[in-house]
Structure 1
Amino acid sequence: MAPTLPLLVVTGPTASGKSSFALALASRLPVEIITVDSAQVYRGMDIGTAKPSADERASVQHHLIDVVDPSEPYSAARFAADAAPLIDDIRGRGRLPLLVGGTMLYLRALLEGLSVLPPADPALRRALSAEAETLGVPALHARLAAIDPEAGTRLHPNDWQRIQRALEIHAVTGRPATAAYGAATTVPRLGPILRFVFEGPERAVLHQRIADRFHRMMREGLLDEVRALHRRADLHPQLPSIRSVGYRQLWRHLDGELDLEDAVEAGIAATRQLAKRQLTWLRRQPRDRRLPEDRDLAIAHVIEDVGRLASERPPRQA
């Protein structure tokens, strides 16, 4: 039996150039791209999520873009459930599945599994949201810190999405969310995996790229894109879609909380913080191969590793 085709994983911080690298890699290897991005899954959120263009999607098959409406939450568990069969389908076509993106929780859910947690409870979430509107998110963060000190320390007092989920888990299970997340996981069997990190340029250059990209998005119509979402009665700032970097800052501008210049600067600052968190996570993955910024050399490294794995008998298993 021929060795199983490897699953390729390319991660890196936002604005590092990993998406363009993946497209360049697709010109040398028969890949299909599975996007690992918690914002690109939402329809109608195109400019601010830096989705690949129509031409780019026509040149290389992309998966898990425009999956759901912004009114519908999309989770790491759902991503893992959606991505696993895609990997098999792509291999079945004789092609290499290539995971590309920077949503590390999604990646961890797929590659390492997630703890078995209770499903979302819509009624409980509505009740918690009503409390947050009345008391403020920091008050509910203080409540969480009292029942789960580790989560209280780890989560920012305004990180409503995660605070709400932690309170929901405690209410449903009677256990702190920290304990629930630490429970045993079911790790999916994904066959041989080659993992690469595309860190991009040094921090100062990356920060400038982030600022330049945000200003370019504004010129391309990002504010109008957010305004169209803001007009919808079914969307609100507690939804995961609207909490995406860039969208939540411009939403605050449209709510009258920030002037436009401050909202843009807040969006740039939030994107830089995201890049910092991504780099911190990636540096804790010592087994991942670091790719040089030189694109041709990085592609050569990936091709070399694919060739080496293909010559192994039997293939390594995840």
Structure 2
Amino acid sequence: MDRGTGMEYTGVSGRVGRVICIAGSTASGKTALALQLARRYPLALISVDSGQVYRGLDIGTAKLSAELLVQYPHGLVDTRTIIEPFSAADFCSEAMAIICRAWKRQQVPLLVGGTLFYFSALLNGLGKLPTADHKLRGRILRRALLLGWPALHDQLQRRDPDAAARIDPNDSQRIQRALEINLLTGQPVPAGNSAAGLLQNGVEVLQLALAVPDRSVLHQRITRRFDAMLAAGLVDEVAAIRQTWGDAETLPAMRSVGYRQVWRFLSGDLQRRQMRDSALAATRQLAKRQLTWLRNSPGQVWFDATDPDLVSGSVLRYLAATGMREKA
């Protein structure tokens, strides 16, 4: 193996190499760190964010500016319209294609984001399920818009009671995927994860986890971040989505924290102060869930992200110790 890139040849998987993952709670500085590393190392950046895949969800997902995306291209950013579903299986399939292309170019894939289920699916595997059928998804979506997702959950209950028992009646994305699997295969949705992920395939994965140990400091960052989004035009962004896509509130794309609360504000259900307070509370809860997930995920190398300069230095020293070579 070349320790500079992690490249080696295997008879089973072809040419494979190392992968770097940067995860952490929201507002922990993941993206800023990834850009610093991209300036120094030959990396292929891949977004692990269930909101950033959607075109038009920019401010509320903290997506990089168009100028920065030209300078630092990210895979899996702006790959879907708001009405197109994007599942964990889609993520794994498309991320692996990017990873393999990066290895061929002698680059190290760096995955960065806060959608931890996507990380888990890629590293640990998902069930061997059929790929997406966009025409079928469209038919399911149109039926949901007509009847509502609870009605489709009732249909799932009749087709696949075990899957229905695992899925909330309002979880539109999972209901849609379960019905799609039922209709494509004629079989129930498997409960287990049988397909191997990167770790089971022997890929060297460096898992970096960023945390801000002082909760009050993290909460201050979350507040500044959301206030900056409001100042940058988040309300106008959601208003434009409403105008373009109509009744998109129930779509998976609109689950991102902040968008739901602004939507309710524009619908007259919340006052502006209530919207802000609700979004901040939801973001703090998200950060807590993210950290809990990471603490229960083996293999993480933890870094204190309180000081961006210090965490950058710590990560650079760690990568140097693993044999990472800088750009020529």
Instruction: Pick the TM interval, shorter chain.
Output: 0.7 to 0.9
Q: Residue 125 of structure 2 contacts residue 193 of structure 2 at CA under 8 Å; is this kept in 1?
A: no
4, 19, 30: which one aligns with 2:42: 30
Go from structure 1 to structure 2 and tell me whether the alpha carbon gap of 1:71 and 1:150 turns closer, same or farther (over 3 Å shift). Answer: closer
Offset of residue 198 of structure 1: 0.5
Aligned to 2:13: none
Which deviations, in whole Å up to 9, do the C-alpha atoms of 1:258-306 show, x marking residues without a partner?
A: 2333222222222222212111110111311001224444334434443
- Secondary structure of 1:207 counterpart: helix
311, 315, 321: which one aligns with 1:298: 311
- Name the Cα RMSD after superposition: 3.2
Following superposition of structure 1 onto structure 2, how do residues 130-145 of structure 1 map, counting pairs within 5 Å? 130-132=146-148, 137=150
Aligned to 1:51: 63
- Secondary structure of 1:232 counterpart: helix
Between 255-264 and 212-221, the greater mean CA deviation after superposition: 255-264
Aligned to 1:182: 192
Aligned to 2:271: 259
Alpha-carbon separation, structure 2, partners of 1:183 and 1:98: 24
Aligned to 1:212: 224
Instruction: Please state if 1:103 is matched with 2:103.
Output: no
Between 107-116 and 41-50, the greater mean CA deviation after superposition: 107-116
Amino acid at match of 2:197: V
Alpha-carbon separation, structure 1, partners of 2:230 and 2:270: 16
Amino acid at match of 1:38: S
- Secondary structure of 2:207 counterpart: strand
- Secondary structure of 2:244 counterpart: coil
- Secondary structure of 2:117 counterpart: helix
Aligned to 2:288: 276
Q: Residue 34 of structure 1 contacts residue 63 of structure 1 at CA under 8 Å; is this kept in 2?
A: yes
Instruction: Please state if 1:310 is matched with 2:323.
Output: yes
The number of residue pairs the alignment matches comes to: 304
Which deviations, in whole Å up to 9, do the C-alpha atoms of 1:178-206 show, x marking residues without a partner?
A: xx231422334473211110113422221
Structure 1 residue ranges without an equivalent (≥5): 312-318
Offset of residue 21 of structure 1: 1.6
Go from structure 1 to structure 2 and tell me whether the alpha carbon gap of 1:174 and 1:273 turns closer, same or farther (over 3 Å shift). Answer: farther
Identity level (%):
43
- Secondary structure of 2:255 counterpart: coil
Q: Residue 70 of structure 1 contacts residue 235 of structure 1 at CA under 8 Å; is this kept in 2?
A: no
Alpha-carbon separation, structure 2, partners of 1:143 and 1:67: 30
Aligned to 1:285: 297
Aligned to 1:315: none
Alpha-carbon separation, structure 2, partners of 1:78 and 1:190: 22
Aligned to 1:314: none
Alpha-carbon separation, structure 1, partners of 2:161 and 2:217: 39
Offset of residue 141 of structure 1: 7.2
Go from structure 1 to structure 2 and tell me whether the alpha carbon gap of 1:173 and 1:253 turns closer, same or farther (over 3 Å shift). Answer: farther
Following superposition of structure 1 onto structure 2, how do residues 115-194 of structure 1 map, counting pairs within 5 Å? 115-117=127-129, 119=132, 121-122=136-137, 123-132=139-148, 137=150, 158-163=170-175, 165=177, 180-188=190-198, 189=201, 191-194=203-206
Amino acid at match of 1:45: L
Offset of residue 150 of structure 1: 9.4
Go from structure 1 to structure 2 and tell me whether the alpha carbon gap of 1:29 and 1:144 turns closer, same or farther (over 3 Å shift). Answer: same
Q: Residue 125 of structure 1 contacts residue 168 of structure 1 at CA under 8 Å; is this kept in 2?
A: no
Q: Residue 24 of structure 2 contacts residue 294 of structure 2 at CA under 8 Å; is this kept in 1?
A: yes
Which deviations, in whole Å up to 9, do the C-alpha atoms of 1:124-174 show, x marking residues without a partner?
A: 4544554437xxx5x88799899868975x766654433554566678778
Alpha-carbon separation, structure 1, partners of 2:279 and 2:293: 21
Q: Residue 18 of structure 2 contacts residue 205 of structure 2 at CA under 8 Å; is this kept in 1?
A: yes
TM-score normalised over the length of structure 1: 0.81
55, 79, 95: which one aligns with 1:67: 79
Alpha-carbon separation, structure 2, partners of 1:224 and 1:232: 12
TM-score normalised over the length of structure 2: 0.78
Go from structure 1 to structure 2 and tell me whether the alpha carbon gap of 1:80 and 1:171 turns closer, same or farther (over 3 Å shift). Answer: closer
Alpha-carbon separation, structure 2, partners of 1:132 and 1:299: 47
Between 10-19 and 92-101, the greater mean CA deviation after superposition: 92-101
